[in-house]
């Protein structure tokens, strides 16, 4: 997507632009870093027309998390042109940083601390979040049953193995009572993988400088968030490295590991559906292996 506006027209009055640097570009949005002569750089994000509605969601979620220094804040929102200006969080994505395992483990411990802070924001009901909860459910059992049904239907429609779908259904029939142990909904980032974690060196090693991209946020069981991080990152990192996440997060309920395992099954199913729907076939076999293993 080409940058279709005069960048100075969306920035605060009086700032002088010295350079505009492309950061990312995709179907959802295009992002630039705007460097200024007399201030900290800013991020300018322009949404594709199809995804304009996510602009308001992003601003809303960042507003809920305004007290967390690790997240960007909204400087300006131009709804007419679908452009959001954000403060720039320094650092590079953890997914693009080569580190020794002990440093990775400590960074995931820091992610766990931040995840705990995100989850401190309570939500009234369970569901997908925009500037409100869409199609809310009053309890976690109803919400997760609906979500599993939806993802299983997509899996079948997209050509997934009937045998694998049957194993998932059998696992749910045996263990869906675990959902009821979540007493209430909390704000969940729902995409807390290494690509959305920014890191930088400091005098004592490495630190997490920020968490970005809240456009998948949901109101759900906080263990859903931890499970997604563990499931996605287990494809790239050892269990020892990822144990830092739970250490940083702190106290967990007694059934946490069983509940996390069930949520990991959901996220593996969701990931298979996403790749299949986009025509990306190379990872499907390995993800289906994950689904079968997690289904037990």
Cβ atoms of 106 and 243 closer than 8 Å: no
Percent of the chain with pLDDT over 70: 97
Cβ atoms of 54 and 28 closer than 8 Å: yes
Closest among 144, 143, 84 to 265, alpha carbons compared: 144
State which of 87, 114, 145 marks the end of a domain. Answer: 87
| Same domain (yes/no): 82, 130 | no
- List Cβ neighbours of 96 (8 Å cut-off, separation of 6 or more): none
CB atoms within 10 A of CB 122: 10
Question: Domain for residue 69, yes or no?
Answer: yes
Please give the tally of structural domains in the chain. 2
| Same domain (yes/no): 146, 44 | no
Phi/psi region, residue 68 (left: phi>0; alpha: psi -120 to 50; beta: rest), is beta
Residue 32 lies in domain: 7-87
Question: Domain for residue 1, yes or no?
Answer: no
The pTM assigned to this predicted structure is 0.92
Write the pLDDT tens digit of every residue in 190-233.
999 999 999 999 888 899 999 999 999 999 999 999 999 999 99
Write the pLDDT tens digit of every residue in 41-52.
999 999 999 899
Cβ atoms of 294 and 268 closer than 8 Å: yes
Write the pLDDT tens digit of every residue in 104-143.
999 999 999 999 999 999 999 999 999 999 999 999 999 9
CATH number at residue 239: 3.90.1200.10
Distances (CA, A) of 9 to 4, 55, 83: 11, 18, 11
| Same domain (yes/no): 78, 99 | no
Question: How much is the average pLDDT of 248-262?
Answer: 97
């Amino acid at each position: 997507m080409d940058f279709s506006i005069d960048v100075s027209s969306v920035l605060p009055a009086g700032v002088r632009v010295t350079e505009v640097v492309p950061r990312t570009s995709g179907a959802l949005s295009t992002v630039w870093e705007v460097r200024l002569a007399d201030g900290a750089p800013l991020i300018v994000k322009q949404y594709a027309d199809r995804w304009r509605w996510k602009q308001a969601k992003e601003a809303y979620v960042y507003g809920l998390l305004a007290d967390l220094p690790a997240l960007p804040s909204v400087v300006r929102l131009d709804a007419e042109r679908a452009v959001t200006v954000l403060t720039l969080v320094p650092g590079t994505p953890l997914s693009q940083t080569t580190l020794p395992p002990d440093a990775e483990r400590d960074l995931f411990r820091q992610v766990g601390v931040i995840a705990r802070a995100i989850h401190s924001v309570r939500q009234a009901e369970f569901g997908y979040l925009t500037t409100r909860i869409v199609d809310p459910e009053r309890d976690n059992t109803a919400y997760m049953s609906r979500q599993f049904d939806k993802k299983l239907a997509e899996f079948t429609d997209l050509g997934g193995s009937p045998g694998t779908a049957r194993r998932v259904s059998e696992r749910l029939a045996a263990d869906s009572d675990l959902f009821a142990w979540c007493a209430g909904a909390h704000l969940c980032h729902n995409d807390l993988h290494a690509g959305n974690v920014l890191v930088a060196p400091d005098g004592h090693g490495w630190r997490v400088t920020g968490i970005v991209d809240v456009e998948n946020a949901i109101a759900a069981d906080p263990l859903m968030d931890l499970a997604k991080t563990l499931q996605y990152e287990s494809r790239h990192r050892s269990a020892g490295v990822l144990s830092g996440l739970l250490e940083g997060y702190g106290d967990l309920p007694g059934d946490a590991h069983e509940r996390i395992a069930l949520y990991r099954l959901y996220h593996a199913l969701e990931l298979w559906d996403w790749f299949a729907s986009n025509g990306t076939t190379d990872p499907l076999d390995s993800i289906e292996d994950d689904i079968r293993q997690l289904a037990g």
